[in-house]
Amino acid sequence: MAQEQELNLHPVHQAMANQRPEKVTIRQLWINQAILHSQQSAENATPLYTTLSGHEGHEFRLLHEAGLLQLTETGAVESSCLHKFIAIEQNATAYASLSTKFPGLKIVRESIQNIVLGHTKLRYPVGEVEKICRSKIINLDLNEPWMPRLQGDQWIIPTCRGIEKFAELHASDPKLHWTLLLTLHGECPWSIDAQSVISGKINDLFHTYPALIEEVQDWIGEELLTNIRNNHVIDFSTVPKLLQQKLLMWVVPMCVALACRQQGWAISVLENIHYGQHPEHAPMVSWIIDFQIPTRQALTFEPELRNCLETILNRAAHITPDGEIHYYNGA
Amino acid sequence: MAQSLNNTPTTKDTNNKPFIGEIKVASRIVDYLSSGLYHSPAACLKELINNSYDADATVVNVSVKPDADRIVIQDNGHGMSKDDFVTHFERVSESHKRDSSDITSHLKRPKIGKIGIGFIAANEICEIMEIFSTKAGSTELLHVTINFSEMRKPIEERRRDGTDFTKADYSGEILESPSEEHYTHIFLEQVRGEAQNILVGAGSQSNSANIKSLYGKSAESIVTLLKNPELNSWKDFDFYSETMLQVALNIPVEYPNSWVPEKLQTKIKKFEDEVKRLNFKVSYDGTPLRKPIVFSPGDKDCFIEPFEFNGEHVSATGYFYAQHGIVKPQDLHGLLVRIRNAAVAEFDSTFWGFTPSIAPLIQRWVSVEIWADDRLEEAMNIDRRTLREAHPAFVELRDELHNRLKKVFDLAKKNLYEAGNKERRADKAIETRKEIKSALQTVKMSSAAMTSVVKMWDAKIDKPSIEKSLLKKYSVAELYSIVIEVAKDVMSDEQLEQFLKHLTDRLGK
């Protein structure tokens, strides 16, 4: 980095910059998706990668190393890549840091919630922001749990609503194959009401697809599933973190698939991972969810939804503290 | 008469006390001021960068691309507290910048800012300016948002219902920051359309189909591009690059490597060292800015004349650069004056109204850069682009510069123009000798005679008299006279008659 670009760096940020092996592995999975998308289509007008990268912008460095993000002799983003890679960063300090590390990088100084114009389904972004939202890859590396909230008189899961709006935007003409990279806290700090919302979704789903019950029971255990299904109050602080992560590994993709079922996607969970087993690390869950345009025309979206639900756990895996991926089915 | 001149005027104020008051200036005046002061986005950016310089920043990063909808200027200067902000910003033009000292506290730089209006430059570019700033030793991070669009509204619109209170021109908060940090980050938000187009480089003033951009180029690559003899003007680049070059010309950044031919480098070293000592580095979208002054005469001759002046009203130092042929790009023609290391506008191609009696052509062969002392600052108008022409410092420096320009022009004429002429004459003489040889080849003559004739011109080619003879031009009458005189000696009358007849026919064609 040129001397001109060396500015004061927050020591906390420097500490955060130390990359944990688990995160390095996750990032590499993300970059592989970017490589796949760039191989699938040479079309250049659509952004390839939109992300909540944080102030370090590790992904942009990796995208550069993968030959996707071209930089000039000064380290600035090449003109041909100026609107291909986009960071969403509300924090001014992080914004400043990113713009110094990657001059020319498109950075949207907004919260992700503002980008999709809140939780309402009546307002959608237009113009340049809409274009950004239709990126081939959306990486929501969130510093939050999967949390139902009361919005007016309706319970919603804000993250799920945001994903639903991204999917809706990609579904508008011309429909665009895209991939969601989603990372969340691996805990379930749900209130009693929030537990009821999750419980209701699960019971509704099992009513329609009873064949799923056995698989889920095998995955999270009979006791937890029974408590959820019977809407018993669960003190999640006593539930082992691993079990909470595993619950989320099934609940989150399920909610996404249900939320987007009317949009006609062939949704598949390409990676379904938990990590952060080290006592000093926060437990995390991460997914790579692909939204393909279905190859066959169906009268209803039900076959695609069922296929998605039945395969959610096919790629379930965990990453060890030293960064190795272990798939539960041994793949 | 009802009135008497001797009557003491009465007032309604029974106390009849003298009164004093403060003329409060509406913040809308900022808009009027800035629109008159800052004629281009580059002029606005350099004001903000020079503020960083005055804050003892050693590193400034300017972010403009990809869309210039937001511009970020980050520096590692000493930062600002809430009190500093209020002191400096609440009353435009009541600057406290030089209250305690006219040099910066840490790096001892001469402060550029004087009356504290630099920040209003931002008003010309954007609707909102956000400042994040913190000082070393403090855990407070100042965050202020100045709403220029609000300030531009008429006072009636800004007044809240039924009260005297107006909406705030700025709002602020104190956030937390580690105590060892010190910086100022400025976000110019909602950049105005026209400024945005210029800053992002949408097009160029050049008609060239091949518009070049300096975006993403290293300092070395920019020097190479500026040395390209086909580059006539910075306008051959896109607006983005032109703005970048204009900013770089003004601010106290270093010169690029190899900006003058090697043989002249010793003459400019002291100027290079002076700006290096300031330790001020600015990067523009990752491109390290250097002064965009590059003299590349190719194989043509050039010289530098140093300038030192200690007058009654002003002192100055600098250099006069001259080369054989037009200095390119043309943006470097003329005179550039720096006060406290910041340029006063751009190169003035008239050299402050110099009307040379000799060869106006040479005017475009010369580039002058001068550093004047603070006394010239007193002559500088608020726009920082023009100088009061009646000010004694200006008058004295202008007269001295014009005297020196005459001498430099004379020197250029003698050393570059006339020396060039000499070279061209020698070349012409060699060419003429070749033509003579070629003409002789068409005549049947013995090789001895041929050698004798050729040898005469070959042997004495370097002699000025022979060169003169070779290049001498003759009238037809002179030609007749010479030919007849020679022919009489070697021809019979009959041959002479025939010869003259043919010669006359040939010359009369």
Partner A contacted by B240 (CB < 8 A): no
Mapping DSSP to helix (H, G, I), strand (E, B) and coil, where does residue B343 land? strand
Higher-confidence residue of B162 and B483: namely B483
Put simply, the answer to whether B286 touches A104 (Cβ < 8 Å) is: yes
Side chain identity at residue B340, one-letter code: R
Partner A contacted by B179 (CB < 8 A): no
Q: Are residues B68 and B211 located together in one domain of the fold?
A: no
Domain that holds residue B452: 443-508
Structure token digits, residue B432 = 């003429």
Nearest residue in chain B measured CA to CA from A82: B66
Predicted local confidence at residue B425, as pLDDT: 73
Which of A2, A10, A78 is facing B283, going by the closest CB pair?
A2
Tell me the pLDDT tens digit for each residue of B7-56. 444 444 445 666 665 555 556 666 666 666 677 899 999 999 999 999 99
Strand boundaries in chain A, DSSP class E: 49-51, 85-88, 106-108, 137-141, 149-151, 154-156, 178-185, 266-275, 284-292, 316-319, 325-327
Predicted local confidence at residue A5, as pLDDT: 38
In the listed set B393, B426, B442, which residue is the last one of a domain according to the structure? Answer: B442
A77: chain B residues, CB-CB within 8 Å: 65-66, 216
Predicted local confidence at residue B245, as pLDDT: 97
Partner A contacted by B182 (CB < 8 A): yes
Q: Which of residues 199-218 of B touch A (CB under 8 A)?
A: 213, 215-218
B190: chain A residues, CB-CB within 8 Å: none
Put simply, the answer to whether B61 touches A82 (Cβ < 8 Å) is: no
A139 strand-pairing partners: A51, A181
Spatial distance between the Cα atoms of B185 and B201, rounded to a whole number of angstroms: 23
**CA distance to A48, A83, A173, B29, B440, per residue, from A42 (Å):** 10, 15, 19, 53, 71
Which helix (H) or strand (E) segment is B132 a member of?
strand B126-134
Predicted local confidence at residue B211, as pLDDT: 60
Partner A contacted by B259 (CB < 8 A): no
Residue B305: CATH number of its domain: 3.30.230
Nearest residue in chain A measured CA to CA from B141: A93
Q: Are residues B265 and B231 located together in one domain of the fold?
A: yes
Instruction: With CA atoms as reference, report the closest residue to B486 among B496, B477, B498.
Output: B496
Predicted local confidence at residue B75, as pLDDT: 97
Q: Which of B58, B63, B75 to mutate to test the interface with A (most CBs of A within 10 A)?
A: B63
Higher-confidence residue of A122 and B351: namely B351
Spatial distance between the Cα atoms of B73 and B68, rounded to a whole number of angstroms: 12
Q: Are residues B316 and B432 located together in one domain of the fold?
A: yes
Put simply, the answer to whether A7 touches B178 (Cβ < 8 Å) is: no
C-alpha distance from A234 to closest chain B C-alpha (Å): 38
Q: What's the rounded mean pLDDT across residues B251-265?
A: 95
Instruction: Answer yes or no: is pLDDT of B206 > 60.
Output: no
Instruction: With CA atoms as reference, report the closest residue to A87 among A74, A103, A70, A105.
Output: A105
Q: What's the rounded mean pLDDT across residues B345-362?
A: 81
C-alpha distance from A109 to closest chain B C-alpha (Å): 9
Put simply, the answer to whether B185 touches A82 (Cβ < 8 Å) is: no
In the listed set B295, B313, B338, which residue is the last one of a domain according to the structure? Answer: B295
Number of inter-chain CB pairs under 8 A, A vs B? 101
C-alpha distance from A321 to closest chain B C-alpha (Å): 31
Average pLDDT across chain B, whole number: 84
Q: Are residues B75 and B117 located together in one domain of the fold?
A: yes
Residue matched to tokens 């939804």: A305
Which of A8, A77, A109 is facing B70, going by the closest CB pair?
A109
Which residue positions in chain A have pLDDT lower than 70? 1-18, 298-299, 331
Mapping DSSP to helix (H, G, I), strand (E, B) and coil, where does residue B226 land? helix
Spatial distance between the Cα atoms of B479 and A71, rounded to a whole number of angstroms: 72
Lowest mean pLDDT among A192-206, B333-347, B453-467: B453-467
Nearest residue in chain B measured CA to CA from A12: B178
Which of B132, B180, B281 is facing A3, going by the closest CB pair?
B281
Partner A contacted by B394 (CB < 8 A): no
Q: Are A306 and A295 in contact (CB under 8 A)?
A: no
Q: Which of residues 446-465 of B touch A (CB under 8 A)?
A: none
Put simply, the answer to whether B283 touches A75 (Cβ < 8 Å) is: no
B65: chain A residues, CB-CB within 8 Å: 76-77, 82, 103-104
Q: Are residues B351 and B235 located together in one domain of the fold?
A: no
Q: Are residues B311 and B416 located together in one domain of the fold?
A: yes
Predicted local confidence at residue A7, as pLDDT: 42
Side chain identity at residue B157, one-letter code: E
Predicted local confidence at residue B26, as pLDDT: 59
Q: What's the rounded mean pLDDT across residues B313-323?
A: 96
Lowest mean pLDDT among A62-66, A187-191, B218-222, B487-491: B487-491
Burial class of residue B229 in the structure, from the number of CB atoms within 10 Å of its CB (0-12 exposed, 13-18 middle, 19+ buried): exposed
Q: Are residues B97 and B175 located together in one domain of the fold?
A: yes
Has residue B21 been placed in a domain? Answer: no
Q: Are residues B335 and B241 located together in one domain of the fold?
A: no
Put simply, the answer to whether A73 touches B187 (Cβ < 8 Å) is: no
Has residue B187 been placed in a domain? Answer: yes
Put simply, the answer to whether B66 touches A82 (Cβ < 8 Å) is: yes
Q: Are residues B308 and B179 located together in one domain of the fold?
A: no
Predicted local confidence at residue B59, as pLDDT: 98
Mapping DSSP to helix (H, G, I), strand (E, B) and coil, where does residue A275 land? strand
In the listed set B193, B227, B246, which residue is the last one of a domain according to the structure? Answer: B193
Partner A contacted by B321 (CB < 8 A): no
Q: Are residues B125 and B95 located together in one domain of the fold?
A: yes
Q: Are residues B481 and B372 located together in one domain of the fold?
A: no
Tell me the pLDDT tens digit for each residue of B425-438. 777 777 888 888 88
Has residue B1 been placed in a domain? Answer: no
A5: chain B residues, CB-CB within 8 Å: 59, 61, 283, 286
Q: Are residues B71 and B129 located together in one domain of the fold?
A: yes
Which of B217, B221, B283 is facing A4, going by the closest CB pair?
B283
Structure token digits, residue A165 = 């709006």
Q: Which residues contact A247 (CB under 8 A, 6 or more apart)?
A: A188, A220, A224
Nearest residue in chain A measured CA to CA from B133: A93
Structure token digits, residue A317 = 């895996």
Predicted local confidence at residue B94, as pLDDT: 58
Spatial distance between the Cα atoms of B18 and B371, rounded to a whole number of angstroms: 49
Predicted local confidence at residue B201, as pLDDT: 86
Domains of chain A: 3-186+263-327 (3.40.50)
Put simply, the answer to whether A79 touches B216 (Cβ < 8 Å) is: yes
A326 phi, psi to nearest 5 deg: -125, 120
Lowest mean pLDDT among A16-30, A162-176, B169-183, B480-494: A16-30
Predicted local confidence at residue B33, as pLDDT: 64
Residues of chain B with pLDDT > 70, as a percent, come to: 82
A10: chain B residues, CB-CB within 8 Å: 178, 181
B308 phi, psi to nearest 5 deg: -135, 130
Put simply, the answer to whether A10 touches B181 (Cβ < 8 Å) is: yes
C-alpha distance from A11 to closest chain B C-alpha (Å): 8
Has residue B11 been placed in a domain? Answer: no
Q: Which of residues 79-138 of B touch A (CB under 8 A)?
A: 130, 132
B213: chain A residues, CB-CB within 8 Å: 79
Give the total number of structural domains in chain B: 4
CA B426 to mean position of chain CA atoms: 38
A70: chain B residues, CB-CB within 8 Å: none
Nearest residue in chain B measured CA to CA from A91: B132
A269 strand-pairing partners: A289
Partner A contacted by B74 (CB < 8 A): yes
Lowest mean pLDDT among A46-60, B459-473, B483-497: B459-473
Spatial distance between the Cα atoms of B75 and B183, rounded to a whole number of angstroms: 6
Q: Give the Cα-Cα-Cα angle A265, A29, A66 (nearest 5 degrees).
A: 110
